[in-house]
Chain A
Amino acid sequence: MNTHKKHGFWHRFFFSLDHKDIGFQYMLTIFLMVSIGGFFAYVFRMHLAYPDMKVPLFGLVTNKDYNMLITNHGLIMMMWLALGMLLAVVGNFLIPIMIGTDDMAFPKLNKISYWFFLISVILMIASFFMPKGGLGGGWTLYPPLSVGDFGYNTPYQGFASRFFTANTFVLLAIVFEFTSLLMGGINFFVTTLNKRAKGMSLLKMPIVVWMINIASVLFMFSVGPLVAGTFMLLLDINVGTGFYDAYRGGDPLLWEHLFWFFGHPEVYVILLPPLGILAEIISTNSRKPLFGYRFIINMTLLAGVLSMMVWAHHQFVAGINPKAATVFSILTIIISLPFAGIILAYIATLWYGKIRFTLPMKWALGAVALFTLLGGFTGLHLGASVFDIYAHDTSFVVAHFHYTLFPTVIFGTYAAMYFWFNKFTGRHLNKTLGNIHFWLTFIFFNGFAFPLFLLGLAGQHRRIADYRQFEFLMQDPLPLYRQIATISAVILILTQFIFIFNFFWSLKKGKKVESNNPWEANTLEWQTSSPPPHGNFAVYPVVYHGPYEYNMPERDKDFTPQNEA
């Protein structure tokens, strides 16, 4: 029986140990970070298309400002939005309730992990206001640039001159955030292994729970080298040790290896939770069992192992042994195979189904299509080391990773929001606003990212504040592409206000849910009240079926909840 009490506002937002409240705290914190990252994107995109313009709400953008804006946009979106939203928020909201338990295995650790996350956010924001300005060496923080003051090779002048710099603060923020995610990940893993409802074997868990756990484990395996690297970089900055200084026995390439040894698995850490979300939504809205449940899990594990062996494809022309590049190129291309299997299984779920075009389904289909067609396939271009000689560090790469990350992180998160919002609040998001939001986002995301492919092929190199100095990049129609990209990006950002309005308006005034299971889904979260009480279930469920038993033979309705005998 459920013995949890209901708490007031103060307790709920500051001290609650409930996984749903902590998930909500994470979500609001990440909304703040995304607004900053989105605002930065707006400023530098405006500057790229109209270099002389005083950007409204910012002013004239200098080279220094520009470097700071792109660097922090990348860091915030990769580290705080993508990792935070998809591991911390999705994991916290979904894992305990989907496996039919009251809370995390370690609720207090969960709370501490949020506080660490909050500290990391505060450090990150504080880094913008350091005496020498915000961080400006690119989000990959390559030393020796990231050891100095981003451009001026100032000699080391003692600890005090270096501690209050953006690089120190950002690195500390990263360490705090990873500690937080590590605590969260351990919590997810232990909860999943130990607190599943009676009858829920590992192979009766929803795919999204599998995916978050695999992602957490992948994160644990890969984060060590980066934390070690970060520690050395902090020492280089603050004590002048020279681990990355070639003239004092160090090596700048060492950081690139440590960073990408984490950085490549990280993109799969980001990718797997949305893939799980898509599986839930596609199966539910096709009214058909997810095609190849075990196959998808096996392919994910395979991709996870492979993802640890491809990091050097970020460094084909960085000065590594060219013979090694061949091996990494082949491994990178091979990693396309398990993902092709997963995507094909999702598509097979659609076939012979009975498709409902609900809002979450639209986001999910949009995500699958864009991720496969323009994100995944251009990965083959870049994985081929020969073409990467030309495309490396051009806008082609920028377009590629926006097409892999945006459909998964943003579309995946929105799919989840439109799918589960009614469960956790008891109210529906407004449908009309949702449709407008979806179509505008879909169109203008493409309008923003696709021109970058063409610009990259034309030879536009990355992270340049003002392309007017390069004649070959100012030939028609390249400036026009830049303007199309900018205008689309601005509309894309404005469109998100529709969602923010919809979110907070529906929270208070949205249409109340008519049943606990409006999508007629099978998983356990739909079998409790909306919103679920503290403790999730009035009576703890017993599981009899797998999560995707839609249209089971010899049943009168087309879905069979997991806890229905």
Chain B
Amino acid sequence: MRIFPENASSYGAEIDFIFWLITTVVAVGSVIVIFLILYPLFTRNKQRSPEQRYLKGQGFKQMKLIYLGIVILAIADFSFLLKEGPTWTKIEETLPKDDLHIAVIGRQWLWEFVYPGPDGKLYTADDVKKINQLYIPVNAVVHMDIQSYDVIHSVFIPNARFKQDALPGRSIKRWVKMTKTGTYPLTCAEICGIGHANMKANITVQSQEDFQKTLAKLYKK
């Protein structure tokens, strides 16, 4: 049994790696905390404990182990922040050159995917629209202009580890590069009304040739 759904994007593995990195840090921390809690419970209960000590935790000498604990946690925190920061910059703050530029528009309760028409430019009269079914080519950087007509939606592609809220009145540009062909779910992660549970699309990742055929078919309609 796998913990995460199958990864199919270029950066998905890095997001999973951050999870396992933090989980490792947390697991070590948990073992320490469990020991620190259980040890006194088993040795210092009423029947067998020697006289307790009058320790108030004042001054550096008594507090030094607590300070040490905080320093260790700070080091652990920054150990994954150092990895986390550049990954965030790569995924969210930089925009690699696009091979395909589309618009993903949420509305109650479906997803619209808008492709540039034969002129290769988005937001012109010859754009083509597809409802609840997105086709994209494999190994290509796809820029998505994420928009909404009415309320807040959120584009969630679990297999790509991709999520971005879609807000009415603005267009948010994000990118994804799928590395495996196949059909994956695309859902809405932000509650958007009664049909929220039914808002579901598919994203089909195709080889370049298949994608060109699909696009040609779309233009013909």
Q: Are B84 and A329 in contact (CB under 8 A)?
A: yes
Binds B, one of A344-352, A416-424, A425-433: A344-352
Q: A293-B57, A392-B163, A466-B197 are in contact. Are A322 and B49 (CB under 8 A)?
A: no
A258 to B49, CA, bound (A): 52
Q: Are B69 and A329 in contact (CB under 8 A)?
A: no
Q: A377-B30, A387-B18 are in contact. Are A462 and B189 (CB under 8 A)?
A: yes
Q: Are A389 and B162 in contact (CB under 8 A)?
A: yes
A334 to B81, CA, bound (A): 10
Q: Are A252 and B168 in contact (CB under 8 A)?
A: yes
A351 to B42, CA, bound (A): 11
Distance from A111 Cβ to chain B, minimum over Cβ atoms (Å): 39
- Please name the residue on chain A nearest to B34 by beta carbon: A373
Q: Are B52 and A387 in contact (CB under 8 A)?
A: no
Binds B, one of A75-83, A204-212, A468-476, A523-531: A468-476
Q: Are A337 and B57 in contact (CB under 8 A)?
A: no
Number of A residues near B (Cβ < 8 Å) is: 98
Q: Are B63 and A334 in contact (CB under 8 A)?
A: no
Q: A326-B88, A470-B185 are in contact. Are A354 and B191 (CB under 8 A)?
A: no
Name the A residues within 8 Å of B216 (CB-CB). Answer: none
A292 to B152, CA, bound (A): 47
A333 to B195, CA, bound (A): 36
B45 interfacial by beta-carbon distance below 8 Å: yes
B209 interfacial by beta-carbon distance below 8 Å: no
Q: A466-B197, A552-B54 are in contact. Are A337 and B172 (CB under 8 A)?
A: no
Name the B residues within 8 Å of A326 (CB-CB). Answer: 85, 88-89
- Please name the residue on chain B nearest to A393 by beta carbon: B189
Q: Are B194 and A150 in contact (CB under 8 A)?
A: yes
Q: Are B154 and A393 in contact (CB under 8 A)?
A: yes
A378 to B22, CA, bound (A): 9
B99 interfacial by beta-carbon distance below 8 Å: no
Q: Are A348 and B22 in contact (CB under 8 A)?
A: no
Name the A residues within 8 Å of B207 (CB-CB). Answer: none
8 A Cβ contacts from A188-219 to B = none
Q: How many A-B residue pairs have CB under 8 A?
A: 281
Interface flags, B177-203, vs A, CB<8A=1, else 0 = 000000001011111111111101000
Distance from A368 Cβ to chain B, minimum over Cβ atoms (Å): 7
A317 to B73, CA, bound (A): 27
Partner of B69, one of A137, A340, A548: A340
Q: Are A322 and B40 in contact (CB under 8 A)?
A: no
Name the B residues within 8 Å of A461 (CB-CB). Answer: 156, 187-189
Q: Are A392 and B189 in contact (CB under 8 A)?
A: yes
- Please name the residue on chain A nearest to B171 by beta carbon: A319
Q: A317-B164, A329-B88, A347-B36 are in contact. Are A352 and B44 (CB under 8 A)?
A: yes
A6 interfacial by beta-carbon distance below 8 Å: no
Distance from B137 Cβ to chain A, minimum over Cβ atoms (Å): 22
Binds B, one of A263-271, A437-445, A452-460: A452-460
Q: A153-B150, A322-B88, A551-B54 are in contact. Are A137 and B22 (CB under 8 A)?
A: no
Q: Are B163 and A393 in contact (CB under 8 A)?
A: yes
Point out residues on A near B: beta carbons under 8 Å: 63-64, 66-67, 136-138, 142, 144-145, 148, 150-153, 246-247, 251-253, 286-295, 317-319, 322-323, 325-326, 329-330, 333-334, 336-337, 340-341, 343-345, 347-348, 350-357, 365, 368-369, 372-373, 377-378, 380-381, 384-387, 389-390, 392-394, 454, 457-459, 461-466, 469-472, 476-477, 548, 550-553, 558
20 A-B pairs besides A353-B44, A464-B196, A469-B197 with CB distance below 8 A are: A142-B191, A150-B194, A292-B66, A295-B63, A295-B66, A329-B88, A337-B70, A337-B74, A345-B57, A345-B66, A354-B44, A356-B46, A365-B41, A373-B33, A373-B34, A380-B77, A384-B18, A387-B15, A387-B18, A461-B188
Which 10 pairs show the lowest CB-CB distances between chains A and B?
A: A246-B169, A151-B193, A292-B57, A459-B158, A291-B57, A151-B194, A393-B189, A322-B92, A350-B40, A377-B26
Point out residues on B near A: beta carbons under 8 Å: 1, 3-5, 14-15, 18-19, 22-23, 25-26, 29-30, 33-34, 36-37, 39-41, 44-46, 49, 51-58, 62-63, 65-66, 69-70, 73-74, 77, 80-81, 84-85, 87-89, 91-93, 108, 150-152, 154, 156, 158, 161-165, 167-170, 172, 185, 187-198, 200
